Every structure is written in structure tokens, then in C-alpha cells.
């Protein structure tokens, strides 16, 4: 399938995955190892983790950023090494963590860092409502704050182009800043950015427009959304469909349907393919390609999602960390072909004679 100028070899997308291994926002050798091996996976598209457009937009002190020359150079260095050995299309997820910022990395005991801690900072949000009990209270963004965030997304999009990425994904899911504007649970504003659905969508759409205007017109800009908050009275699939249609009008090239993350009271039915029904609903309402994600681990399971038309692509996160050659095994199981690097061609099992296509 083609999405604008991107030729996608199959229907497997690698979902963005924070590695919490950056230093001052700069990618490290870990990112070269991590993205490097995923670049050899045979997937159609590799998405770089949530990349903060401002330092205070990081989830933790170890998040990747793209807000100055140093952070840009670190991504450029990583991507130019990968590009030497793989032509996999690469997207970057541009993000702002909003009120869920200033936390510990997930493999350490959970904690929020207050602004006066050397590892913390003051978080921002649409309204001064903390994520949970014990979480710091964010500062509600005023006009200058909104402008600063908008300008930061536009500047990061310009930098992203210089790093050599093929596409941008706007992170509007999982309870981070864009989603905080969308959901009535986290957005209690009384200005033109709060209240009605139209008002709550206004800031995320402005951000989308700022990115779209700053990134080359022939390259795709997509979005990732939460299809529901899984909370009564919160963001839901009907509002998601309205947002998806607006995004499409604004030139969005594809939409990736995840869910949840806005509030600790969420009740997520985490069973295989649990978010696919949300993707199916959006797919019926838009023309742009739709990506389904969430507990998709089996080859037949993935094939069925695409073959029945529930979604155009499936995205993998945990399954491809566990098995970075998942697309090779899927191709073998389903009698398809996959592109493998020349250096690994001799690994083709004898029983799968035509599995590999050459570089």
C-alpha cells in the first residue's frame, strides 16, 4: 500500500515505544541498537518513540526529545547509521506529555518528581487538574503557553525533516497533552479550547495544522488517538470518529487507534484484539488508512484483522520486542515473502524455499 510518497511493503507497523534511555533528550547507542534491530524486522514502517517537542513535554527525564540542535543531531546520527543498512520507512511520533510528565522511568519504583527535584519540572495541561491522587498539579496553559507548545511542534517538525524521517505521527492518545484537551475529564477550560467537542478539538487540530505546514507536503503526517477513555462521561468512540473526520479534512494521512491512558479509573478490557472494534468503527467513517493495535500477537489473528477490512494495518509493540523477527515468522506461516538483509540470507530455513527476497 502507498501512503502519499511512502511505499509500504506489507501491513505490519512497528508501534512507537519509549525506551527511557536518552540523556538530556538525546538518543544514545541504545536507540541505535533498539531501532537498528527493528529496522531489520521486515515490517512496513518503524515508528520512533514518543519524542518530546519541549523538555517539560517528556514523560521522564530519560525520554527522547527534539527541541534543540543537540537532540536533533542525536536523532540524525542514529538514523544515518540505520539508513546505511536498512531502507525501512521511518516515522517519528511527536509528543507532549502534558500532566503525565515528570515521572520516574517505568522499571524503577513509580514516583512523580516535583518541580524542585533535579529530575523533575512543572508540568502543564489544559486545566490545573492532576492525573491522580498524589500526582502534581499541572499549570493550566495560558495563551502564551499554548503558543509556546504550538511553535514547539512546528519547530520539531522542521527538525524532524532534517533528521531524515519519512513521516510524522502526532501523539494524541494515552492521556498526554493532546488527549487531555480532547477529553472532558481533563479539559475544564471555559475559553474557546474547552467545553463543546468542537472547542476541545481546537488545540489538537491547531497542532496538527502547525506540523502539517512545517513538514514537506509530499510526506505523510498521521495521528495516534485513544478511541475511548474507558470511563463513563469521558472521551468515546463517537467523539473519536468526529475527530478522525476533522483530522482527515486537515490532511491527515492515516490514523492509529489505541485507547485509554487518561485516568486511573479506566476499565480496560485487555483481551486479544481489544481495540480492533474501535479501529473498525473509525475505518467505516473515514477514507484514510486505519491502523489497529493492542494485544495483536498471532499471525492468523493479524491476517484476519486486515483481511476482513477491520483495519488497513496492524501495529505491534510488545510482540515485536519479544520477537523482533515477527514479520519473518508471519511471512513463513502465511506463505508470503519478506525482505531480509543480504547478510542474513543464509538463515532461510530449508522448508521455506522462497521466504526471503533480497535487498
Ligand X SMILES: Cc1cc2nc3c(=O)[nH]c(=O)nc-3n(C[C@H](O)[C@H](O)[C@H](O)COP(=O)(O)O)c2cc1C
Question: Annotated active-site positions, please?
Answer: 176
For ligand X, the binding residue among 57, 294, 324, 327 (CB under 6 A) is: 294
Nearer Cβ to ligand X, position 183 or 258?
258
CB atoms within 10 A of CB 240: 23
Q: Which residue stretch of 141-149, 238-246, 290-298, 342-350 sits at the interface with ligand X (rule: CB under 6 A)? A: 290-298
Question: Does 224 engage in binding with ligand X (CB under 6 A)?
Answer: yes
CB environment 64-77: b (16+ within 10 A), e (fewer): bbbbeeebbebbbb
Nearer Cβ to ligand X, position 165 or 317?
317
Using Cβ positions, the residue closest to ligand X within the complex turns out to be 317
Nearer Cβ to ligand X, position 125 or 317?
317
Element (H, E) at 47: strand 45-52
- Which has the closest alpha carbon to 121: 180, 59, 205? 59
Element (H, E) at 139: strand 139-140
Window 79-98: contact mask with ligand X (x via CB under 6 A): --------------x-----
Q: How far is the CB of 190 from ligand X (least distance, A)?
A: 30
Question: Does 160 engage in binding with ligand X (CB under 6 A)?
Answer: no
For ligand X, the binding residue among 35, 46, 173, 282 (CB under 6 A) is: 173
Site for ligand X in 236-275 (CB under 6 A): 258
- Which has the closest alpha carbon to 250: 291, 209, 201, 199? 209
User: Strand locations in 180-269, DSSP E?
Assistant: 221-226, 255-258
Asked if 12 and 328 count as a contact pair (C-beta separation under 8 A), the reply is: no
Question: Does 163 engage in binding with ligand X (CB under 6 A)?
Answer: no
Say how many residues touch ligand X, by CB under 6 A. Answer: 20
For ligand X, the binding residue among 8, 101, 279, 316 (CB under 6 A) is: 316
Ramachandran bin of 337, using left for φ above 0, alpha for ψ from -120 to 50, beta for the remaining angles: beta
Nearer Cβ to ligand X, position 146 or 276?
276
- Which has the closest alpha carbon to 175: 112, 113, 228, 133? 228
Question: Does 147 engage in binding with ligand X (CB under 6 A)?
Answer: no
Question: Does 228 engage in binding with ligand X (CB under 6 A)?
Answer: no
Under 8 Å CB-to-CB from 348, ≥6 apart: which residues? Answer: 340, 355, 356
Residues forming contacts to ligand X in the complex (CB under 6 A) are 15-18, 49-50, 93, 171, 173-174, 224, 258, 293-296, 316-319
Amino acid at each position: 500500500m502507498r501512503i502519499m510518497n511512502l511505499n509500504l511493503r506489507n501491513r505490519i507497523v512497528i508501534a512507537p515505544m519509549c525506551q527511557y534511555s536518552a540523556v538530556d533528550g538525546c538518543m544514545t547507542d541504545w536507540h541505535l541498537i533498539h531501532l537498528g534491530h527493528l529496522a531489520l524486522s521486515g515490517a512496513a514502517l518503524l515508528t520512533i518513540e514518543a519524542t518530546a517537542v519541549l523538555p517539560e513535554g517528556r514523560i521522564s527525564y530519560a525520554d527522547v526529545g527534539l527541541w534543540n540542535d543537540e537532540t536533533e543531531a542525536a536523532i540524525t546520527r542514529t538514523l544515518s547509521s540505520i539508513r546505511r543498512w536498512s531502507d525501512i520507512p521511518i516515522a517519528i511520533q511527536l509528543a507532549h506529555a502534558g500532566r503525565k510528565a515528570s515521572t520516574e522511568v517505568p522499571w524503577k519504583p513509580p514516583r512523580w518528581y516535583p518541580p524542585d527535584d533535579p529530575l523533575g519540572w512543572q508540568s502543564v495541561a489544559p486545566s490545573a487538574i492532576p492525573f491522580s491522587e498524589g500526582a502534581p498539579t499541572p499549570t493550566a496553559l495560558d495563551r502564551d503557553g499554548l503558543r509556546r507548545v504550538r511553535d514547539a511542534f512546528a519547530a520539531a517538525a522542521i527538525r524532524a525533516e532534517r533528521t531524515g524521517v519519512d513521516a510524522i505521527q502526532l501523539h494524541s492518545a494515552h492521556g498526554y497533552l493532546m488527549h487531555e484537551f480532547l477529553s472532558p475529564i481533563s479539559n475544564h477550560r471555559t475559553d474557546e479550547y474547552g467545553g463543546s467537542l468542537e472547542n476541545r478539538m481546537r488545540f489538537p487540530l491547531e497542532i496538527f495544522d502547525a506540523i502539517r505546514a512545517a513538514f514537506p507536503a509530499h510526506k505523510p503526517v498521521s495521528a495516534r488517538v485513544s478511541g475511548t477513555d474507558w470511563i463513563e462521561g469521558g472521551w468515546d468512540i463517537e467523539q473519536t470518529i468526529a475527530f478522525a473526520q476533522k483530522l482527515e479534512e486537515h490532511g491527515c494521512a492515516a490514523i492509529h487507534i489505541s485507547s485509554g491512558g487518561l485516568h486511573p479509573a479506566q476499565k480496560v478490557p485487555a483481551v486479544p484484539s481489544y481495540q480492533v472494534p474501535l479501529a473498525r468503527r473509525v475505518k467505516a467513517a473515514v477514507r484514510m488508512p486505519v491502523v489497529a493495535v493492542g494485544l495483536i500477537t498471532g499471525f492468523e489473528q493479524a491476517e484476519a484483522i486486515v483481511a476482513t477490512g477491520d483495519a488497513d494495518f496492524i501495529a505491534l509493540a510488545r510482540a515485536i520486542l519479544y520477537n523482533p523477527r515477527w514479520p519473518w515468522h508471519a511471512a513463513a506461516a502465511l506463505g508470503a515473502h519478506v525482505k531480509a538483509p543480504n547478510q542474513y540470507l543464509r538463515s532461510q530455513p530449508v522448508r521455506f524455499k522462497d521466504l526471503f527476497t533480497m535487498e
